[in-house]
Amino acid sequence: MSSDNTTMAVEHRTQFGKGAARKIRRDGKIPAVMYGHGTEPVHITLPGHDAMLALKHANAVLTLVIDGEEQLALAKDVQRDPIKPVIEHVDLVVIRKGEKVVVDVSVHLDGDSAPETVVSLDNATLQVQADATNIPESIVVSVAGLGAGTQILAGQVELPSGVELVTDADALVVNVTQMISQEAMDAELAELDAEAGIAHEAPEGEAAVAGEAAPAAEADAEA
């Protein structure tokens, strides 16, 4: 569980639009909007370096100092440039200490399953309800020693204390299957090819041997 949050001074933003946003980013800041608890949205700018560090973690909680007053806010949506390491915009939700929030938390697999098995993560995140200032960074699911045919549903995942599951309890999270051998895979491909009417030619080496057999047979016939 992580209750750490970053304190940073922010400024009101009065200019809007793509051009204004680009200028804000050129000045080393990040445009953002803060809303929630029935209040009007507040447009602000975040200090670029501090915000980049804080927003490396999902569901980051920030203490924003605005007009001399502190306000807790949860990073709800972080829009990043698809190519450059740049944050384009941040949506922040006003929160209060002791308040419960619903967030998506990533699932982390721990351990190795039984030999010759494959582990599939069908749900990379779980939606949970947690204390706004004590949101888990990840949810760890152990797959150590699990055999083929094992499935772990959302309702079977052990959650940290104080965290409640919101995702459907029957949602599949982990699926362990038997690893397919190369021989079985080749046989399956050959069967599919046969059904599609695809004929495979003999390897080049085998064709050459077959071609050399004919003259020998002719020589025997002449003898």
Tell me the domain boundaries of the chain.
6-96, 102-178
pTM of the entire structure? 0.73
Look at residue 1 in the predicted model and tell me its pLDDT: 55
pLDDT bracket for residue 205 (50, 70, 90): low
- State whether residue 152 is helix, strand or coil: strand
Sign of CA dihedral 208, 210, 213, 215: negative
Instruction: Report angle CA 160, 55, 100 to the nearest 5 degrees.
Output: 40
DSSP string, 21-67: HHHHHHTTEEEEEEEETTEEEEEEEEEHHHHHHHTTSTT-EEEEEET
Q: Measured between alpha carbons, how far is 204 from 185 in angstroms, rounded to an integer?
A: 23
- Asked if the model's pLDDT at residue 207 lies above 80, the reply is no
Residue type, 114: A
Q: What is the mean pLDDT of residues 9-19?
A: 87
Look at residue 105 in the predicted model and tell me its pLDDT: 97
- Asked if the model's pLDDT at residue 124 lies above 80, the reply is yes
- Alpha carbon of 210 to those of 86, 201, 216: distances in Å? 64, 13, 11
Name which CATH class applies to 102-178: mainly beta
- Asked if the model's pLDDT at residue 206 lies above 70, the reply is no
- Asked if the model's pLDDT at residue 16 lies above 60, the reply is yes
Contacts of 57 (CB under 8 A, 6+ apart): 2, 137
Q: Measured between alpha carbons, how far is 26 from 195 in angstroms, rounded to an integer?
A: 60
CATH superfamily of 6-96: Ribosomal Protein L25; Chain P (2.40.240.10)
Q: Measured between alpha carbons, how far is 120 from 166 in angstroms, rounded to an integer?
A: 22
Look at residue 179 in the predicted model and tell me its pLDDT: 87
Q: Tally the C-alpha atoms within 13 A of residue 52's C-alpha that lie toward its C-beta.
A: 14
Contacts of 140 (CB under 8 A, 6+ apart): 108, 109, 110
For residues 64 and 6, the answer to whether their CB atoms sit within 8 Å is: no
